[in-house]
């Protein structure tokens, strides 16, 4: 049984066959069918034939994490305020990427904000109000694991907000972000893009893996049947909020390891921090990370 008493096999008929999860790489478990073949849904609409190897990932990730630390010192020394928004569909890999971003940062000065369902009190406030409380002060980096964009995604699709609230959000979001940027906030908006079949595989792995079961929510299950509604919501969201002052960056994330390092590269590439190592940063792979217009399906 899953949360809320749902029968998992009803949702994922695949579970009636013998499926197991192979954990040779704990970061990237693989789903194995009864006949021993691996489920390779990551290949769906993916521009590369190989996933990043563990060795390359470990090596590159470490070097980029050192650069992220330099970025943090720079933010601290210059009194900068940085906001990184992590968005994307369920299971796109936002949380996993944030974990690697923060792994070696000094927690004093780098925070993750992951807000839950709004309380009654928050429901009565200006929509952006509860996010504003968490914005950085001088010297801080704040990473939003989901953000005000909930209103354009889950709230819109699941009907947690009405049309009027949605329209107001779509009008206010660019204005809100313009105010932040105008005030000197360094705003980065990352959209993690997972394909349909790969999202499903990740949900099944969450169901089968005891340490991932908490990640599978009732909303996740709902989203299976709402793929198209989420796509529509995403397109509308980009149309309204991919602005010059606060553009979106899309990260293709079917290969989680590559997505994590390319997301780091993309953030690092845009700031001229002290003691920067351009060789390590290189240039973000345009097949994996870039402006919304170039990568959104």
Look at residue 217 and give the partner it binds from ligand MLT, ligand ADP, none, a contact being a CB closer than 5 to 8 Å depending on partner kind.
ligand ADP
**d(Cα 187, Cα 243) in Å, to the nearest integer?**
12
Using CB distances below 5 to 8 A depending on partner kind, what does residue 96 bind out of ligand MLT, ligand ADP, none? ligand MLT
Interatomic CA distance for residues 58 and 103, integer angstroms: 13
Specify whether the backbone of 187 is left (phi greater than 0), alpha (psi in -120 to 50) or beta.
beta
Tell me the torsion sign for CA atoms 247, 203, 153, 178. negative
- Name the minimum Å distance from CB 116 to ligand ADP: 5
Which CB, 28 or 90, lies closer to ligand ADP? Answer: 90
Q: Quick check: 259 and 54 in contact, CB under 8 A?
A: no
Interface contacts to ligand ADP, rule CB under 6 A: 90, 116-118, 146, 150, 154-155, 160, 217, 219-220
CB of 249 to ligand MLT, least distance (A): 16
When the beta carbons of 116 and 210 are compared against ligand ADP, the nearer one is 116
Q: Smaller CB distance to ligand MLT: residue 75 or 98?
A: 98
Are 136 and 83 contacting, i.e. CB atoms less than 8 angstroms apart?
yes
Minimum CB distance to ligand ADP, residue 42 (Å) = 20
State in angstroms the smallest separation of the CB of 104 from ligand MLT.
Answer: 18
- Nearest residue to ligand MLT by CB is 95
By CB under 6 A, the residues from 77 to 96 that bind ligand MLT are 88, 90-96
Cβ nearer to ligand ADP, comparing 152 with 188: 152
The structure tokens listed for 260 are 């994590």
Note whether 157 and 105 are within 8 A (CB): no
CA distance 243 to 240: 8
């Amino acid at each position: 049984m899953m949360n809320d008493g749902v029968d998992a096999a009803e949702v994922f008929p695949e579970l009636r066959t013998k499926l197991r999860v192979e954990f040779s790489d704990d970061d990237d478990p693989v789903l194995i069918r009864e006949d021993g073949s691996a489920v390779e849904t990551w290949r769906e609409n993916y521009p590369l034939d190989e996933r990043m190897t563990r060795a390359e990932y470990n090596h590159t990730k470490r070097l980029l994490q050192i650069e992220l630390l330099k970025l943090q010192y720079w933010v601290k020394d210059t009194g900068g305020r940085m906001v990184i928004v992590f968005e994307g569909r369920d299971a796109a890999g936002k949380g996993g990427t944030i974990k690697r971003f923060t792994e070696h940062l000094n927690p004093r000065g780098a925070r993750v904000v992951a807000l839950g369902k709004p309380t009654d009190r928050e429901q009565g406030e200006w929509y952006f109000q509860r996010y504003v409380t968490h914005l950085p002060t001088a010297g801080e980096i704040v990473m939003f694991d989901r953000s005000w964009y909930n209103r354009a995604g889950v709230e819109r699709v699941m009907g947690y907000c009405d049309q009027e609230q949605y329209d107001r959000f779509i009008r206010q979001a660019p204005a809100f972000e313009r105010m932040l940027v105008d005030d000197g906030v360094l705003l980065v908006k990352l959209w993690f893009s997972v394909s349909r079949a790969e999202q499903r595989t990740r949900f099944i792995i969450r169901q089968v893996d005891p340490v991932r079961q908490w990640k599978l929510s009732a909303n996740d299950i709902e989203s299976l049947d709402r793929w198209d509604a989420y796509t529509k919501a995403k397109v509308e969201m980009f149309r309204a909020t991919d602005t010059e002052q606060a553009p979106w960056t899309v990260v293709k994330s079917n290969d989680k390891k590559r997505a994590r390092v390319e997301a780091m590269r993309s953030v690092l590439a845009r700031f001229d921090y002290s003691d920067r190592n351009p060789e390590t940063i290189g240039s973000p792979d345009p097949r994996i990370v870039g402006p919304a217009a170039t990568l959104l399906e």
